[in-house]
Structure 1
Amino acid sequence: MTRRVRFGLLVSGLFAFMTILYLSFGSSQPTLQSYESSASTPSLPFGGSIDSLGLSEGVLGGGAIAPKLGNETLKKELGRASWRLMHTMMARFPEKPTPDDSLALQTYIKLFARLYPCGECAAHFQTLLEKYPPQTSSRNAAAGWACFVHNEVNTRLKKELFDCNKIGDFYDCGCGDGDGKGGHKDHKGGKGAAAPDDNLDSSSDDDLLSSFDELAEGALKIEKEEGLTRGD
């Protein structure tokens, strides 16, 4: 075999070897298309993706989850605390919310309606949401909507209606602006005026803690009565 033939065989062998290496490892390198694909489905810290969460309309629009709440005392206390939370949240909502802010509030209200621990109350509230969808375009819109819906509940319960023009005065938490300025404002509803539900006047921290303790004790009592505690 001549030297030229040997050299040709050597070159052919090297070419074949490099081709095999490229086919084996070259295709595993990331490409621009793969980066674009991963960017379109952002990953989550626990390894999943947003698409894999499978959040359907049923999650937000499904029926009430909690069973019926038979304890009328606890039901009233729960209602007062929940309305106070709702109205204070609306009073703290941005005056000019971003689209994400508005969507977050809408989502919260729908989930709140599903998870409310009084099943029959939750079902009624969901009916109101279908008839009067949450308004989250601004602070005034959100606060006015919450007051209107609250008055719808008061109408059903044959309670006195509240002047929604005064809602901001009763549910000013005195938190101040975001820059740390501002302090507690006095309520301007007038002497003897009532909040949307039964006498939700300003309460001290001790009073609020006592109310939460009573709610917790009442919930535990109901669980024991209905045999819902673990191990029963």
Structure 2
Amino acid sequence: MKKTQLAIATIGILLSASVLASEDKWGYTGEHGPEHWGDTYPTCSSGSSQSPVNITQPSEAELLPLDIQYQGKVSALTNNGHTVQAQVEGLNTLFVDGKSFELKQFHFHTPSENFIKNRQYPLEAHFVHADEKGNLAVVAVMFQADPAYNKSLSSLLAEIPSKHDEIKLEAEIKPSQLLPSTEHYYRFSGSLTTPPCSEGVRWFVLQEPVPASSKRISMMHEVMGDNNRPLQPLNARVVIEK
């Protein structure tokens, strides 16, 4: 399969709620748990640049603040059986490496998949982008419980769909309202954190966490359970920070 075709196929697997909903070959527990993903998806066990990682000793670099220009809104929430995923519409663009990546969806993990200096957060969101050639870029946002919580996140998660269900949103909530400062972040090359664990994904983990309602975090965990892939070895990769 050619690189472009592979990229398109990867995006199809990642972004289609219907594909994920019908996929019974992987999960987070038991015989289909992460330790068995490689049986069906070889890259999950043989890859050398897998995600998530524990960011412990990043190297400083002269990086520009992330250029995120989200102008659209969230149209629906879908529970595909593995995560709660937000569908988006409108123009939502990440500019990096001289390329534009469009936001395809964002979804959640409880607890966080990536660690920052050995710290795991109770909730993490992955904003998944793709360029015109199918290359992927993920912006990861951490959430921590705080009474001064992000009201847009609370509105978004006021009602959480049950497994294989979808909720259309009436309130206008913009993805931009869920982001912290984009000035400081960690960057590394990684993979999808779910099968097929395809590598070559640009990862950007924002350093500043977003305050979230402890009630909403608990609600998300109740619906999704522990849907975090275990940490993967960094191997020869270098994490850089701005």
TM-score of Structure 1 vs Structure 2, range by shorter chain: under 0.3
> Which gives a bigger RCO, structure 1 or 2 (Cα 8 Å, sep 6+)?
2
What TM-score, normalized by structure 2, do the two folds share?
0.22
Bigger fraction of residues in strand: 2
What TM-score, normalized by structure 1, do the two folds share?
0.23
Bigger fraction of residues in helix: 1
